[in-house]
């Protein structure tokens, strides 16, 4: 059965190979779906800082030069996108704007009612300060209106048939929080692997955790899913070992804003997954 749904997907780009790879991934991931793709470039002007008191205006030479460069980059990018097999279900919209990446994304998410953000990662940095580029982390932290898929460097598209969802069952779940991972699982007839990693309890849950586990099973009723317990010294080793063993094509996690005095990213589950993720990561938000 082919799913019919309309999606509005935001694809931020800095015109790098990495960003182009993420766009290609998005086109393949939603090839069966009617989509409006919004391709966004946030440009900067070297002689201005974004937090300075004075903002460059239309008509000023520095602004016009930067704008023209951004628009020329967008035209080159769209020529490459058009080399991808054409899909009548897909429409493209381009946006170039003077802004920080995160604020530009926030504006488009609000104005265009975006359903999903798909962007590339920077991979490992020389200082290993981030798993993803700083922009990707900032977007995951600050944009809570829609989920984010982060695509690793040079990742070649694979249909997400095996999706791992790490959880400690400490917080209750809501159906709308899980909607996007359920949608992808249904689109590709995938299995969602609920992975519980706990080095202290030998997989045993207290009454509250057991209740949350049962609630999650109810939410996933009708979706192929399996329950797993991974005894591991740390979360990173457990998730990565599971991904390798089960040949997982995606890691999905719920980024709870009230957890760990901020969010799961500040704790850092994502950092524990590894500095060089091998598969795309879908970040869901609580509501």
Give the mean pLDDT per block of 10 residues along the chain (287 residues).
71 92 96 96 72 64 88 96 92 94 94 95 49 67 88 91 92 92 96 86 83 95 92 76 92 72 46 65 85
Start-to-end Cα distance in the chain: 30
Residue 268 CB partners (closer than 8 Å, separation 6+): none
Residues 64-81 as b/e (b if ≥16 CB within 10 A, e otherwise) read eebbeebeebbeebeeeb
d(CA 211, CA 68) in angstroms, rounded, equals 57
Domains of the chain and CATH, by start: 6-151 (3.40.50.620), 162-285 (3.40.50.620)
Give residue 24's pLDDT: 96
Q: What are phi and psi of 9, to 5 degrees?
A: -120, 130
Give residue 267's pLDDT: 45
Q: For residue 174, what are its two tokens?
A: 């809501």
Q: Vertex 24, ends 33 and 105: CA angle to 5°? A: 80
Beta bridge partners of 95: 40
Give residue 121's pLDDT: 79
d(CA 281, CA 10) in angstroms, rounded, equals 16
């Amino acid at each position: 059965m082919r799913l019919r749904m309309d999606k509005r997907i935001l694809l931020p780009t800095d015109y790098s190979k990495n960003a182009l790879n993420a766009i290609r991934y998005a086109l393949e991931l939603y090839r069966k779906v009617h989509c409006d793709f919004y391709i966004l470039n946030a440009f900067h002007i070297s002689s201005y800082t974004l937090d300075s008191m004075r903002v460059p205006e239309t008509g000023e030479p520095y602004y016009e030069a930067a704008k023209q460069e951004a628009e020329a980059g967008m035209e080159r990018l769209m020529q490459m996108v058009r080399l991808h097999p054409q899909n009548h279900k897909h429409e493209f919209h381009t946006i170039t704007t003077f802004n920080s990446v995160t604020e530009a994304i926030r504006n488009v998410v609000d104005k265009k009612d975006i359903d999903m953000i798909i962007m590339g990662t920077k991979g490992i940095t020389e200082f290993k300060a981030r798993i993803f580029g700083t922009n990707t982390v900032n977007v995951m932290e600050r944009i809570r209106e829609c989920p984010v898929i982060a695509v690793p460097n040079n990742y070649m598209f694979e249909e997400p048939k095996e999706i791992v969802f790490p959880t400690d069952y400490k917080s209750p779940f809501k159906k709308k929080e899980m909607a996007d991972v359920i949608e992808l699982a249904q689109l590709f007839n995938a299995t969602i692997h609920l992975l519980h990693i706990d080095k202290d309890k030998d997989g045993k849950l207290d009454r509250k955790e057991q209740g949350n586990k049962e609630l999650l099973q109810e939410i996933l009723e009708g979706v192929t899913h399996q329950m797993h317990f991974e005894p591991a010294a740390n979360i990173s080793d457990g998730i990565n070992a599971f991904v390798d063993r089960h040949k997982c094509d995606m890691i999905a996690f719920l980024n709870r804003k009230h957890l760990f005095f901020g969010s799961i990213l500040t704790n850092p589950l994502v950092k524990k997954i590894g500095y060089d993720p091998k598969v795309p990561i879908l970040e869901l938000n609580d509501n």
